[in-house]
Amino acid sequence: MMDWTDRHCRMFHRQVTRHTWLYTEMVTTGALLHGDVARHLDFSDGEHPLALQLGGSEPQDMALCARLCQQWGYDEFNLNCGCTSERVQKGAFGACLMAEPQLVADCVKAMRDAVSIDVTVKHRIGIDRNEDYDFVRDFVGTIADAGCRTFIVHARNAILKGLSPKENREIPPLKYEVAYQLKREFPDLEIIINGGIKSDDEIAGHLAHVDGVMLGREAYHNPYAMATYDARFYGDATPVKTREEVLAAMIPYIQSQLDQFGSRGLKLNSITRHMLGLMAGLPGARAFRQVLSDSKKLAGADPALLLEAFAGMRGPGQTD
């Protein structure tokens, strides 16, 4: 979810769901140790509960970054062992780490020794053509021995050569039963399933077998689908915000961000680009997207553009 789940996206999603855990983009250890820490780690208090996803493979570096991130106030650290991009592989982390479970275990142990909050691991069910269940079982078992209690299982193999990251999300077949089997074999671990899941009913079906469900691109492209999660999955009877109320709640946040960072070049589009899917499936959704994508209107840097876009959906003859 690089370039997608930044702090503005997360703050928008938090207006839709109060309890669902949100995850950052993957941040590499190199970016934190040698780059602009505030740019990578800053977030708003309203984003909690919030997990930071780290990419790296050097235990000492992982520990240093985990300690830094705990000081910043994150609720969980997640080690990425699932990304398939060539750039990530060249850095010797991501899905290729599944071939080195002891190294992952060393990273987890170093991080757990450095911080007091949860350290979790996101991974695939195999790499390349290795579809042997024993491979992922041994991977999980080795890392669990290092103290990791939560595993987010993207239920596809990772093909390290020959497929793009997009193809890796679509071509390797989904095998949810592998995640289910991990839960049966490791009943004391928290197993969270990921991959190709969209509807509430699908989520509920998986929760009969595992402890949690992670959504990625579906949540981004159809964010209002999350509006039912608090009541259905967290037992929160708080009235659900309407789409218009979500937009209204974002206006003061956007204004504060423009006031704070405007001199450094923050553009209105940096925030509104994450909101284009809010009206997905509704008549007039196209008109809504057009207003929020209009460069001339965006140049005015007026957060009230959100309500103008909403009002435009009800204009004469507007259909999606």
Could you give the residue numbers annotated as active site?
Answer: 83
Q: Do residues 303 and 256 touch, judged by C-beta distance below 8 A? A: no
* Nearest in space to 8 (alpha carbons), one of 253, 308, 255, 290: 253
Which residues contact residue 122 at a Cβ distance below 8 angstroms, ignoring those fewer than 6 apart? 53, 78, 79, 80, 81, 82, 151, 152, 153, 154, 194, 214
Quick one: tokens of 199? Answer: 């509807």
Q: Would you call 209 helix, strand, or coil by DSSP?
A: coil
Distance between CA 316 and CA 199 in Å, rounded? 32
The residue with tokens 């930044």 is 6
The residues that bridge with 214 in the sheet, in sequence order, are 194
Q: What is the DSSP string of 254-316?
A: HHHHHHHHGGGT--THHHHGGGTTTTTTSTTHHHHHHHHT-HHHHTT--TTHHHHHHHHTTST
Q: Which one-letter DSSP state was computed for residue 239?
A: P
Please, are residues 5 and 215 in contact by the beta-carbon 8 Å criterion? no
